Amino acid sequence: MKLLKIVGSLLVLMLICISHVQCTSSDIGANLPTLTTDSVVYINPTTVVVGGLLIKAENSVLERGVCYGTSPNPAKTGIKRAINSSNRVFLDTLTGLQPNEKYYVQAYASNSAGFVYSAQVEFLTREAIVSFSFDDGDMEQTNILDSMGVRGTVGFVTTWNWNRDLFKMHLIENEGWEIASHSVSHLKSPETEYKDSKDYLVAQGFKVDGFIYPGGGANDQQVSWASKYYSWARDVVTYNPGYSAYRNLYNLPPFNLYRLKGAQTYNHSLAEFKKIVDSVDKDKGWLIWMIHVNQISNEDLTALIKYIKGKNVDILPIRDAIKHYKEMNVI
């Protein structure tokens, strides 16, 4: 675990640290270097760092590095990559990996007596995800997503009759949409806004995991209420047109599940949306659009979805994105 400190400046998403199955002199021959099986794998939003830890070298070490690939036993089947280092810890950054793919890694070292390999570790690479969340029970544009084979999340204010088309809500839930709460009366306090709206939706037969804060800007008390009744809650991030810090608009691990960022679409152009998608794709982050009716035209929404699909970025309801990240051990 000392390695963690060494690369502590990296955003560490996953550390796989195999227990020390040391290649001792008795099983590999007297003069080989001794390599711990601490093949190390760190994944941050854009890179994977791999390497090994050499605990003892009987003779001078000639080469050290990693073998990696998408099949098990990469020492035999994978790509060999030498790491130019004279340190006991040797690390390198892998690039050009396929997204959402399982990789296997083994560290190696050699001296004049031959090669020694660490045990195998595995990791999954990340991909970007985009979610569409419709506030205020807006279902006017759900058919656009439907027609493109995409599903999203809709938050309902449970005392607003105009947004409570129960038949359509059941219809879209059956199609794979996520029904979320957006409070009882569009307020973030008191606690009953969280509890009663969920009780209502559950009583109507919906599966409800999430809460969308009305108006955004939840305080700590409101976050604690949301965490009492829901498994996620989404807030709002606003920005000005032309503002270039796109990174602040989307979620990067470690995720704060009760302050998930929702990027507003109001008053921005399709060109701007595309730049944000480019950015989240590059960072392998999770972008959640916050959409209100008439904030994005049908044409722009259609074009935006086409653009995202063209990038091979997954479009998932918030609940499904969380499930995906849990499967990948990101959450």
Interface with Zn ion (CB under 5 A):
135-136, 214
- Check residue 324 and report its DSSP letter: H
Q: Least distance from C-beta 216 to Zn ion, angstroms?
A: 9
CA geometry: angle 126, 288, 176, nearest 5 deg: 85
Q: Least distance from C-beta 152 to Zn ion, angstroms?
A: 15
Nearer to Zn ion, 214 or 285 (CB): 214
The dihedral sign for the CA sequence 166, 168, 169, 173: positive
Name the nearest CA neighbour of 51 among 10, 99, 109. 109
For the CA atoms of the chain, what is the radius of gyration?
A: 24
Nearer to Zn ion, 32 or 296 (CB): 296
The DSSP code sequence of 56-77 is E-SS---EEEEEEESSS-HHHH
Nearer to Zn ion, 294 or 312 (CB): 294
Q: Least distance from C-beta 215 to Zn ion, angstroms?
A: 6
DSSP H or E segment with residue 169: helix 166-174
Q: Least distance from C-beta 135 to Zn ion, angstroms?
A: 4
Q: Least distance from C-beta 103 to Zn ion, angstroms?
A: 42
Name the nearest CA neighbour of 246 among 292, 219, 205, 282. 282
Nearer to Zn ion, 114 or 217 (CB): 217
φ/ψ (deg, to 5) at 145: -65, -45
Q: Least distance from C-beta 214 to Zn ion, angstroms?
A: 5
Q: Least distance from C-beta 258 to Zn ion, angstroms?
A: 17
Nearer to Zn ion, 135 or 235 (CB): 135
Q: Is residue 128 within 8 Å of residue 293, measured between CB atoms?
A: no
CA distance 216 to 198: 18
Nearer to Zn ion, 129 or 260 (CB): 260
* 287 beta partners: 130
Nearer to Zn ion, 3 or 169 (CB): 169
The DSSP code sequence of 253-279 is SSP-TTSB--EE-TT--HHHHHHHHHH
